[in-house]
Amino acid sequence: MPKAPRMNGMRTLTIALFLALGSTIAVVAAPIVPEDLFKLTFLSSALISPDGHYVLVEASRANGPKNSYDRTIDLVDVADGSIRHEVTGKTGDADYDWMPDSKSFVFVRTLPKQKPQLFRYTIAAGTTVALTHVSDGVSGPAVSHDGKRIAFTVTQTTPAHDAYIDFSKAGFTPKPDQKKTDVHTIDQLFFQVNGQGYVYQDIPHVWTANADGTHAAALTSGKYGDNFIAWSPDDKTIAFNSLRYDAVDSGPNDIYTIPSAGGAVVKLASSLPANNGLFFGVDGTRLYYLTGDVKDSAELPALAGAKLDGSDAQTIVKGDTISWGDTLLADMKEGGGLCGGLIGTSNVALLNIDGPGYSNLRTVDLSTGAIADLTPPHGEAWSCGLTRDGKRAAYLYSDFSTPADVYAVDVPGGTPRRLTHVNEGYLASVTLSKPQAIDVKDREGNTVQAWFMPATGGKPGAKRPTLLDIHGGPETQFGETFFHEFQVYASLGYNVVFTDPAGSTGHGYAFEEALESNYGDAMFEDVQAVMDAVVHRPDVDVTRLGVLGGSYGGYATLWVIAHTDRYKTAIAERAVSNLQSENLAADFAGKNGLGGGYYTWGPPWNPASTDYAKFSPLTYVEGVHTPLLILHADEDTRAPIDQTVQEFTALKVLGRTVEYVAFPNENHDLSRTGTPIHRVERLNILIDWLGRYLSP
């Protein structure tokens, strides 16, 4: 990640223009442009020390000449917010955990032409020591409570099969790299993952080693992968996730425990297939975890607690009541996931939880299920952790005006305190648009949340072209977090409207589930209701409207322009056009797929399962008259590239205005984690297309 600028104590930097020598200085705010991605610092993986004095954070900045990202582990002082940059000084450093004395931490370093290994960094001395030399490399270190051992993951790759050829009969001696085949023979579902490629042959297992790296050994083994969850309070037991059968649904997961010294595994019995481990209780005899089914893609899992074998299971928070974790979308990252843990030796947990358009930190009483806000209900809070005594938490926080910074808050009931200002100089040099909240009612009486971001560029007082952006997922949400791309559009003179239509998270189960049986129209009715309100604003030119979105938002864009000519142009990225082929070819394709798949609409190969066609934009392609730019990354397996090719081909045959932009060597996450040059090129291509039809 980017290096945090060496100026934490410095204040606002401005671009100044002297109007007269020795007199008034006028601040000239620059417009926000795609190339500003090279100026921003991105933070991730905040981790507070056990004593609460420091926070580790991974910092990243785009490196143009290398077309990659420079990443460092930075040390933030909780007392004054000062940052020690390049604590480890290598761009291959990541994945860390504190030693219990808070004087050092372990991390994963990847040296050139070597597998990643564990190292330890001592703060006072500034020294780094290598710990492990595992042939397959390591990841995800977790230090035991007493600091004597470290658990980590080792991913073993099944060796390639011998080449399927008799070289003696072929009449030549093979080169070393020809002796093994590069052909993949696959006998399971979910054999690939977007951005990672084929993963079926990679099997992760839990290992442990002494704190000095000696006696590194596998704790788990076998054909099924295992992933560490947590050490028990007495360090005698380790909990881990594993799915030890071949599933036809995506999402199933089980929880197991094993003695940390080795021994028999114990499965936490559950009546539901999707169980994700969170943390041990105070005395180590109970686990608290999320549990749910896999048939309803809108389902919100329950929070449960049970003994280690699953007996004495108790539901703490009922299913379909809480949207756990952070699912906000932006171009800085894709959701922050779930964070938190047990607060000291109490029976209360700290977790981040979604609300409508935000994610904040809340406490959950594990006895009563009572939930209370710890941080205010706005912005986006994620990557949180606690001190050993549970009296202080650190986390990352972003809002409309600032990308992620490190915050700390005392538990319980403290006031959040901002520790870092890593993008302060950049933000002071540009003009930001401030989104305005809009609430409308849809036909079903549901409140649809949206925001109007007024243009900052262009002629003051003029009516502006206006863009509607629809988020992906669909089980995600837009909300109060920094979105560089939207600010670029506003700087160019576009108003930007973004909304959370039916299917979005953070707005309750009923609102999320409303999309399942009405996959295209429920979303369409909601975004149209939002735009019906927007077009009455005096700063909106109703003759210059555009619609765009990516992933499910790309699907939504194709659906919208097939059902209305309201928009003068459209952009669909990494779109889904054909639900039948998407549910048979995507990396998550199985019995449950997009929209619930088999469980919602029946088998996608069955001619009687007509809902796949009913809810596919491709079915209505003849209704598309809006000029369309359609963009896809060549290595996208989340929405395979044929989804774009099918729509593009149909529109070309119909003689409609459409262009197809293909990005090589990128995947579904191009706009968030793609190579820096491609990310900037993408934005400029979108801007050029919009300019042709909307003339900002």
* pLDDT score of 507 more than 50: yes
Hey, CA dihedral for 606, 610, 615, 617, is it positive or negative? positive
CA 154/CA 228 separation, integer angstroms: 10
Q: Please check the confidence at residue 89 and state whether its pLDDT lies above 80.
A: no
CB atoms within 10 A of CB 156: 17
Tokens of 338: 């779930």
**Quick check: 252 pLDDT over 60?**
yes
Phi, psi (degrees; rounded to nearest 5) at 692: -60, -35
Q: What is the pLDDT of residue 687?
A: 98
Higher pLDDT, 336 or 283: 283
- The residue-averaged pLDDT of 6-13 equals 30
Identify whether the C-beta of residue 572 lies closer than 8 Å to the C-beta of residue 645. no
Write the CA distances from 174 to 162, 178, 304, integer angstroms. Answer: 12, 6, 57
Per-domain residue ranges of the chain: 432-578+616-694
Residue-level pLDDT at 1: 37
Q: What is the DSSP string of 69-85?
A: EEEEEEEEETTT--EE-
Question: Which whole number is the average pLDDT over 574-602?
Answer: 95
| pLDDT confidence bin for 696, thresholds 50/70/90 | confident
Mean pLDDT of 126-154: 97
Q: Is 554 left (phi over 0), alpha (psi -120 to 50) or beta?
A: alpha
| Confidence category of residue 171, pLDDT binned at 50, 70, 90 | very high
Cβ atoms of residues 106 and 132 within 8 Å: no
Write the burial class of residue 629 (CB in 10 Å: 0-12 exposed, 13-18 middle, 19+ buried). buried
Q: Report the candidate in 468, 478, 487, 462 with the shortest Cα–Cα distance to residue 531.
A: 468
Q: pLDDT (tens digit, 9 = 90+) per residue, 516-535?
A: 889 999 999 999 999 999 99
Give yes or no for a contact between 374 and 409, defined as CB atoms under 8 angstroms apart. Answer: yes
Banded model confidence at residue 16, pLDDT cuts 50, 70, 90: very low
Classified as helix, coil or strand, 215 is: coil
Q: What is the mean pLDDT of residues 436-457?
A: 94
Residue partners of 367: CB distance under 8 A and separation at least 6: 347
DSSP 382-450: EEEEE-TTSSEEEEEEEETTEEEEEEEEETTTPPPEE---TTHHHHHTBPPP--EEEEEE-TTS-EEEE
Provide the pLDDT for residue 7: 28
Of 565, 562, 500, nearest to 526 by C-alpha is: 500
CB atoms within 10 A of CB 180: 13
SS3 24: coil
- SS3 per-residue string spanning 483-506: CHHHHHHHHCCCEEEEEECCCCCC
The DSSP call for residue 635 is T
| pLDDT tens figures, 382-435 | 999 999 999 999 999 999 999 999 999 999 988 999 999 999 999 999 999 999
Contact (Cβ atoms closer than 8 angstroms) between residue 505 and residue 423: no
Q: What is the mean pLDDT of residues 75-88?
A: 86
Q: How does DSSP assign 504-537, residue by residue?
A: -TTS-HHHHHTTTTSTTHHHHHHHHHHHHHHTTS
pLDDT at 572: 98
Residue 49 clears pLDDT 50, i.e. is over it = yes
pLDDT at site 6: 28
For residue 218, the cross-strand partners are 207
With H, G, I as helix, E, B as strand and everything else as coil, classify residue 170: helix
Q: Report the 10 Å Cβ neighbour count for 314.
A: 13
Would you place residue 84 in the very low, low, confident or very high pLDDT band (cuts 50, 70, 90)? confident
- In this structure, of 10-19, 119-128, 603-612, the range with the lowest mean pLDDT score is 10-19
Q: What is the pLDDT of residue 653?
A: 98
Q: pLDDT digit string (tens) for 295-307?
A: 999 999 999 999 9
The C-alpha atoms of residue 468 and residue 488 are separated, in whole angstroms, by 14
Decide if 395 contacts 339 (C-beta within 8 A): yes
Looking at the predicted structure, is the pLDDT value of residue 277 above 90?
A: no
Distance of alpha carbon 647 from alpha carbon 665, whole angstroms? 22
pLDDT at 559: 98
CA distances from 524 to 548, 553, 560 (A): 13, 11, 6
- Residue 534 to residues 449, 522, 696: CA-CA distances in angstroms? 13, 19, 17
Q: State the average pLDDT over residues 553-578.
A: 98
| Tokens 């300019």 -> residue | 691
Task: Tell me the mean pLDDT in the region 649-675.
Answer: 97
CATH number of 432-578+616-694: 3.40.50.1820
Summarised one tens digit per residue, pLDDT across range 343-381 is 999 999 999 999 999 999 999 999 999 999 999 999 999
CB 574 within 8 A of CB 632: yes
Sign of CA dihedral 112, 116, 119, 123: positive
Mean pLDDT across the chain: 93
Segment 621-633 shows an average pLDDT of 98
- Binned at pLDDT 50, 70 and 90, residue 4 comes out as very low
The most distant pair of C-alpha atoms in the chain lies apart, rounded to whole Å, by 89
Q: In which residue are the tokens 């290595």 written?
A: 635
3-state secondary structure (DSSP) of residue 119:
strand
- For residue 24, the model assigns a pLDDT of 38
Number of continuous H segments (helices) and E segments (strands) in the chain: 12, 40
pLDDT at 236: 98
